[in-house]
Structure 1
Amino acid sequence: MRQGHALNVSANSRNENFARALDEFEKSVKISRTLDVSRLLVEADWGLCRTYGYRGDLHRAQACAQEAVEIATQAGDEWIASLTRLTMGASLMLAARYEAAEDWLNRAIAGFQECSDPFGRSAARLWLALGYFKQKQFERLAQVLPEILAACQQNGYYFLFTRPSLLGVSDERILVPLLLYARAQGWETAYVDRLLEVMNLSGVTIHPGFRLRVHTLGSFQVQRGNEAIPSNGWRRESARQLFQLLITYRHAPLDRDQVCEYLWPEADPATAQRNFKIALNTLYQVLEPERDPGSESAFILREGSTYSLRPNADLWLDADQFVDAARGARQSDAQLLQQAIDSYPGEYLPETLYETWAAEERERLASFFLESADRLAELLLQQNKYAEVIELCQRVLIQDNCWERAYRHLMTAYENLGDRGQVGRAYQRCAQVLREKLDISPAPETRELYEKLVGGG
């Protein structure tokens, strides 16, 4: 049962944990019914309420909650009854069922007050505050949020804001807009600033309530929080391409005319401008479905006629993570080099292979990969790990089959394994590829190594 709770808390980053949590709680229910001890059902039902409820299955969540509350009330256990009411209220709040959520949460608050549990009361009131904020009931919000922030600061409940918790949100980003509003109102600003700093969001001024995760290596995929945007979720191909272009030029704002030239090079200026406007508006809707019309985007910054990714936007990009890992890997640290290489599953935006605007970034990232792999191959050869060298070099040659150093590492590894037939095949493959693709012969260093190995010298 405790494992089920732990899986519930970590389910924001691994959705399969929901199914595993469900299985753990169902096992506990089965044991409880076998022993015919109804009180053992309460905690399992509470866990099931969260598992179902946070996924949006409110019917099953409420059935579990009602059973748990009924058994707990009969046993005189107001505390766990209140925990269950809080969880059901949170589930309803996540589903925007605000009136029903408030009813469950207010009953939970009363129960925690009766039990003298300030933590449970603070957690339940935080959910109420989130609901007020979502409904733009700012007067009601002003009556509770300053007190909640003060109580959390006094009692050390900062984690309710900064990470997933059993009584809190499954994704801490949900609460960031609430914190930004509190900071703008001057409520416990020093504390709010510390909370944002803990989440590495100190520079954020606009936030949609989720982090955008962008995968560009090997394939293109974007996640809003825990929700992946499907291929048809972009609505227009031009919106997806515009976002890929902005990602590619994330360090250099693009003028609208530049964007039009990249994406619609054959269109006349008026048509290209119209295409751009349609693509941009669609992109806004795809990235931030709940964004108020006319408000600034949390991810795209417009300054006059230039457009770019917003600095300090809550956006994770696999390409940046890979470059950081490659730069951070010490030249003599095989483990760190391997981690860097593992974070490069394939070339940058492979579907844009023939787009000139993506070529430079693709080559830059490929260079980081090839250099890291080359250094790792050298270290593995020094450690006599020849099978690993072969596997690594074969992967390198899939990425760039003209990388001569990979052929040299292959020949050396095969020679140390006593397989001179493969030494010859590696050299012949190298010569053939270079001749067919570049119309050149292998470098003197490659020929000399081959002659040395096959000559037994």
Structure 2
Amino acid sequence: MPMLRAITIDDEQPNHILLKRAIEQNGQLEVVMQFTHPETALGKIEEIQPDVAFVDIEMPDMNGLDLAEKMLEIHGQMHIIFVTAYSQYAIEAFKVNALDYILKPVDAEEMNRVVRKIMSRTIPHKPPSTQESLEQLPKAKILCLGEFEVYGNRSSQKVQWITAKVEELLAYLVMHPGKPVDKWKLCDLLWPALDADKATTNLHTSIYRLKKTIANEQLPLQIKSNSHGYWVEVGECSIDYLEFERLSSTWAKHNELPEEEVASLMKAEAYYRGELFANKAYLWSVAHSEHINQKYIRLSYRLIDYFEQKQSFEQAMEYAKKLLQLFPYEEKACMVTLDIYGKRKDKPALIRQYKQYCDELRKEMGCTPSLKMEKHYETLLKSL
């Protein structure tokens, strides 16, 4: 069957890069045209006759919901997929006969889900093949950034661990995939107060329990060992911190952010949900957690600067707001947010944001904003 023809409509050019990449990676759709202006897209629908339209909801010239209604009047056989950063649009999306909606930033898993739905409505119904049935199984993933959560292929529920030490053992091994870890190092990390014999017994028991859980939960991991230690081999399993490191590995090599790197950095930023193993008290992870935090902060400022240069202030605001949510004391992120409120002439929002920043500093650190921040705020306030 030939690939289905798709168009994308989004007023932010960088979003087209990320969306097109996700569509092309799926391999069943072909992006035939991309539009940054809704009116231009509307005028081309009859000529293009696309099978699928990926439509941003929040656009300044025309709301995506209104645009979709008008496009369906011209070409009613087209499938509409809304792309939005805000889940509250879900109900409105389905009111205009949209097939589905996906949240920004779009990832491969969500795109595959949506494309399967498109194909099921486009091709004649047939019993699912063995391969299709396998594709519908839950996808294994390990989330380390934010709360530590592990999901196997057996169910959509997160793995429940027999003991906290078994969970911590996996966390440490996952941080060093494919690299043998000395068994005595593991004993010192996990049972520092026990003598060598008891610690070794606990390690052997925990390895056995870990292997059993991996098998029961159908996790695509293998625990390997030699005479000196243990390590984990990772199969078809997504690990967020590894993806974050991979996608963000090239950004520091450039003084200016190349256009082709934007999509990778947006994807890397989306993987960051909070500090490494945020809900665990793993002392061994503190140094690496701080390294990732600082990389995330620098990466976010790169994206903020990029979108400000493109005058995509709403996009820059999203990243600044997330930075402040995760790191409330980031002065530069607060300044960016205040600047955008100033450009909007939104005095109440500007005052609220500054007050919130002051409250966080006072409550958590017992201090007040810097003189630089105070002057910046007063200058903006006087301009409104």
SS in 1 for 2:168: helix
For the structure 1 residues 363 and 252, does the alpha-carbon distance in structure 2 shift closer, same or farther, using more than 3 Å as the test? farther
**Which position in structure 1 is the counterpart of 2:349?**
422
The 3-state SS of whatever aligns with 1:48 is: coil
Q: 1:70-149 alignment to 2 at 5 Å?
A: none
User: What are the superposed Cα offsets for residues 383-409 of structure 1, whole Å, 9 maximum, x if unpaired?
Assistant: 333332332222111211111111111
What secondary structure does 1:406 align onto?
A: helix
SS of 1:351's equivalent in the other structure is coil
* Distance apart, 1:363 and its partner CA: 2.1
User: Partner residue of 2:378?
Assistant: 451
Shift of 1:341: 1.3
Quickly say closer, same or farther: Cα 1:23–1:367, change in 2 above 3 A: same
Q: Which residue does 1:104 correspond to in 2? A: none
Paired residues, what number? Answer: 274
CA contact under 8 A between 1:386 and 1:414: conserved in structure 2? no
Q: Distance in 2 between matches of 1:439 and 1:303?
A: 52
Q: Is the 8 A contact 2:151 2:157 kept in 1?
A: no
Based on CA coordinates, which of the two structures has the bigger radius of gyration? 1
Instruction: Check conservation: 2:180, 2:225, Cα contact below 8 A.
Output: no
**1:262: Cα distance to partner?**
2.7
Structure-1 separation of matches of 2:342 and 2:368 = 22
Name the structure with the higher helix share: 1
**Does 2:364 match 1:442?**
no
Rounded to whole Å, the distance in 2 between the matches of 1:219 and 1:260 is 24
Distance in 1 separating the partners of 2:311 and 2:328: 24
For residues 232-275 of structure 1, the C-alpha deviation after alignment (integer angstroms, 9 at most, x for no partner) is 56444432221101123448754333323332344454433222
Give structure 2 stretches of 5+ with no counterpart: 4-26, 29-107
Q: Which residue of 2 aligns with 1:332?
A: 257
| CA distance, structure 2, for counterparts of residue 428 and residue 16 of structure 1 | 42
Structure 1's 220 and 20: CA in aligned 2 closer, same or farther, altered over 3 A?
Answer: farther
Q: 1:448 to 1:49 in 2, by over 3 A?
A: closer
Q: Match for 2:333: what amino acid?
A: A
Q: CA, structure 1 residues 361+443, in 2 after alignment: closer, same or farther (shift >3 Å)?
A: same
State how far apart, in whole Å, the 1-side matches of 2:268 and 2:362 are.
32
Question: Which whole-Å CA distance do the structure 2 matches of 1:406 and 1:290 have between them?
Answer: 41
CA change 1:333–1:340 in 2 (3 A) is: farther
Which among 215, 225, 228 is matched to residue 143 of structure 2?
215
Letter paired with 2:279: E
Aligned residues of 1:222 and 1:229 also touching (Cα < 8 A): no
Match of 1:185 in 2: none
Letter paired with 1:327: S
Partner of 1:406: 333
Question: Is 1:254–1:306's contact at 8 Å kept on the other side of the alignment?
Answer: yes
Residue number among 279, 282, 305 corresponding to 2:228 in the alignment:
305
Deviations 1:104-158 (A, max 9, x none): xxxxxxxxxxxxxxxxxxxxxxxxxxxxxxxxxxxxxxxxxxxxxxxxxxxxxxx
Cα distance in 2 for partners of 1:342, 1:232 equals 23
| Structure 2 residue 303 is the aligned partner of structure 1 residue 376 | yes
Structure 1 residue identity aligned to 2:324: L
2:154/2:217 contact within 8 Å kept: no
Structure 1 SS opposite 2:230: strand
Contact 1:221–1:229 under 8 Å retained in 2: no
Residue 261 of structure 1 pairs with residue 219 of structure 2: no
What is the root-mean-square deviation of aligned Cα atoms in Å?
A: 4.2
Q: Give the equivalent residue in structure 1 for 2:22.
A: none
Alignment of 1:32-71 (within 5 A): 47-48=126-127, 50=129, 55=133
Amino acid at match of 1:351: N
Greater relative contact order (Cα < 8 A, sep 6+): 2
Q: Which of 277, 282, 285 in structure 2 is aligned with 1:349?
A: 277
Residue 245 of structure 2: aligned partner: 323
Residue 84 of structure 2 is matched in structure 1 by none
* TM-score, scaled to structure 1: 0.49
Q: Relative to 1, partners in 2 of residues 1:254 and 1:54: Cα closer, same or farther, differing over 3 Å? A: same
Q: Structure 1 unaligned segments of length 5 or more: list them.
A: 29-43, 57-169, 172-210, 292-296
Q: Quick one: structure 1 residues 455 and 54, their matched pair in 2 at CA, closer, same or farther if it must change by over 3 Å?
A: closer
C-alpha distance in 1, partners of 2:114/2:347? 47
Deviation at 1:14, TM superposition (A): 5.1
What is the rounded CA distance, in whole Å, between the counterparts of 1:414 and 1:216 in structure 2?
34
Return closer, same or farther for 1:341/1:231 CA change in 2, 3 Å cut-off.
closer
Q: Shift of residue 342 of structure 1?
A: 2.0
Q: CA deviation at 1:317?
A: 2.7
Q: SS of 1:369's equivalent? A: helix
Counterpart code for 1:305: H
